Amino acid sequence: MALVTTTEMFKKAYNGGYAVGAFNVNNMEIVQGITEAAGELKSPVILQVSKGARAYANHTYLVKLVEAAIAENPEIPIALHLDHGDSFELCKSCIDGGFTSVMIDASSKSFEDNIALTKQVVEYAHDKGVVVEAELGTLAGVEDEVVVEAGSEMFTRPEEVEEFVDKTGCDSLAIAIGTSHGAYKFKPGTDPKLRFDVLEECTKRLPGFPIVLHGSSSVPQEFVKMINDNGGNMPGAIGIPEDQLRHAAELSVCKINIDSDIRLAMTGVIRQYFVEHPDHFDPRQYLKPARQAVKDMVSHKIKNVLGSDGKA
């Protein structure tokens, strides 16, 4: 199967009560770990590239890695998506450069400016057969260069979603319901709760329309401990409870973004490896278990959070 857009994936996910995982890719081991897991579990998957990933690994290298993953896993649908595009030029460059989906994240702009920029990207993208994710509301945490302090996030206003989708023509919408980027999503001792009332209000106003959740890592404490036990220092790292994400996937959420959990798994395993093998210096030795950790993490998400196994 060639690279696909998310249109068919989301239709099936919406009707089937599951979500497709969107995992950030930055290098070969991450691409391999994710797609091996999705391939074995016969799951659709979205590989997403941030502006930072593109600056780190180079657009062409990432596209070619994804093409290699498609050749190795021909039986599953794979979409290649720009995560948090912050300008028309960046979106255009990815559309022209082989991506099948882009996000234009103008959520930090005014409602009117968000509409105008999103519409401009949608017109260009649709003309080339590429789909567009947009965002309304702001998440706490870091989105590329934009930093939003916890407590300053703004939940999506459901009364705005219809007008936004109508005027922009976007294909999916990321909303803010209490998720946030990074490994420190809630203060220790607080009860992490997503705003399902906001999600339900948005769904009522946009029946059948795919909703996206960013900032959906669960920050598994097993990996936080592995990091801290092996020289790391990540006190109080807390994520979104998996059962709440599973519930969101049963509703209108069709795409769930996960990056931090992959970072934690790789970092924990590599830190432990170095403590256990202080004399090793061949990158293949420590990147092999790191790649396996990515695969295990993604397999776990597909089976226990997304519910997308067997849906390819």
- Give me the residues that bind Zn ion (CB under 5 A), please: 214, 257
Q: Which burial class, exposed, middle or buried, applies to 74 when counting CB atoms under 10 A from its CB (0-12, 13-18, 19+)?
A: exposed
Going from the C-alpha of 215 to that of each of 89, 119, 139, 164, 181, the distances in angstroms are 25, 24, 8, 22, 4
Q: Under 8 Å CB-to-CB from 199, ≥6 apart: which residues?
A: 175, 177, 211, 248, 251, 252, 253
Given 81, 84, 185, 295, the residue binding ligand G3H (CB under 6 A): 84
β-pairing verdict for 141-143 and 146-148: antiparallel
Q: Which residue number, 36 or 259, has a Cβ lying nearer to ligand 13P? A: 259
Given 182, 210, 232, 307, the residue binding ligand 13P (CB under 6 A): 182
Q: Is 301 in the site for ligand 13P (CB under 6 A)?
A: no
How far apart CA 304 and CA 245 sit, in angstroms, is 10
| Rg over CA atoms, the chain | 18
Q: Which stretch binds ligand G3H (CB under 6 A): 10-18, 50-58, 63-71, 165-173?
A: 50-58
Strand partners, 135: 174
- Using CB distances below 5 to 8 A depending on partner kind, what does residue 217 bind out of ligand 13P, Zn ion, ligand G3H, none? ligand 13P
CB of 139 to Zn ion, least distance (A): 7
- Using CB distances below 5 to 8 A depending on partner kind, what does residue 216 bind out of ligand 13P, ligand G3H, Zn ion, none? ligand 13P
Q: Which residue number, 306 or 312, has a Cβ lying nearer to ligand G3H? A: 306
β-pairing verdict for 253-258 and 45-50: unpaired
Q: Which residue has the tokens 């278990």?
A: 289
CB 284 within 8 A of CB 226: no
Query: Which positions from 115 to 144 touch ligand G3H by CB under 6 A, shown as an x/- string?
Result: ----------------------------xx
User: Would residue 83 show up in a list of annotated catalytic residues for this protein?
Assistant: yes
199-228 residues in contact with ligand 13P (CB under 6 A) are 214-217
Q: Is 181 in the site for ligand G3H (CB under 6 A)?
A: yes
Contacts with ligand G3H, residue ranges (CB under 6 A): 24, 50, 52-53, 83-84, 143-144, 181, 259
Catalytic residues, by residue number, are 83
